[in-house]
Structure 1
Amino acid sequence: MVWIFAFATAALWIWLIRRARDRAAEHAAAGMLHSPLYWTGAGLTVVLFGLAFATRYALAQGGALMWAWLAALSATLIATFFVRRALKWRYPI
């Protein structure tokens, strides 16, 4: 039974890697990888991961840190949505 799960997991990873490679080739062909908007979106994604990892600490502290974390999270999400919309408008892939 475990081998079925292992095989399904390996097949999923292979499928995801092929799909990501195709998507990266499309982005490179469109010139999207050289766009500052693309790199801004990638940076905002890293910031979101950092905020996600700091959730437990920020919420446990309470007070001003909790509200600052919430404000940073909302500002980052709004900026990410705007950058994503701009990328979709500029590069309609």
Structure 2
Amino acid sequence: MAWIIAIAFFVFLFWIGRRAREKTAERAASGQLQSPLHKAANGLVLVLFGLTFYIGYIHRNLLPIPSYLWVAVAANVVVLLILRRALKWRYPCI
């Protein structure tokens, strides 16, 4: 039974890999992979993840969360929304 699950898992990984290559080819054809807006949005998402994990770490240790972290999270979300709108304007088909 375990070998059936293992085979299904590897087939699933192969299928996901094929879809990822197709999506990458579509985005490369539209020029989205080289877009600085796209790279900035991805970087800001990583910053947002880092901030939220850090806030969670502080909260877990029962320490007070500094207000400047909440301001940073709010500013990051606002900038991400603006970048999302810019990407939708630049690439309307996505």
- One fold, TM greater than 0.5? yes
**Larger proportion of helix:** 1
C-alpha contact (below 8 Å) 2:37/2:87 kept by paired residues: yes
Q: What is the alpha-carbon distance in structure 1 between the residues aligned to residue 12 and residue 51 of structure 2?
A: 28
Q: Work out which of the two has the higher radius of gyration on C-alpha atoms and give 1 or 2.
A: 2
Percent of residue pairs bearing the same amino acid type: 43
Q: How many residues align?
A: 91
TM-score, scaled relative to structure 2:
0.73
Larger relative contact order, structure 1 or 2 (CA cutoff 8 Å, min sep 6) = 1
Q: CA RMSD, aligned part only?
A: 2.1
Q: 1:4 and 1:56 mapped to 2: Cα distance?
A: 39
Q: Deviations over 1:34-53 (max 9, x none)?
A: 22111111111221231233
Indicate the residue corresponding to 1:62 in structure 2.
Answer: 64
1:44 counterpart = 2:44: yes
For structure 2, list consecutive stretches of 5 or more residues without a partner in the other structure: none
Question: Hey, what does 2:74 align to over in structure 1?
Answer: 74
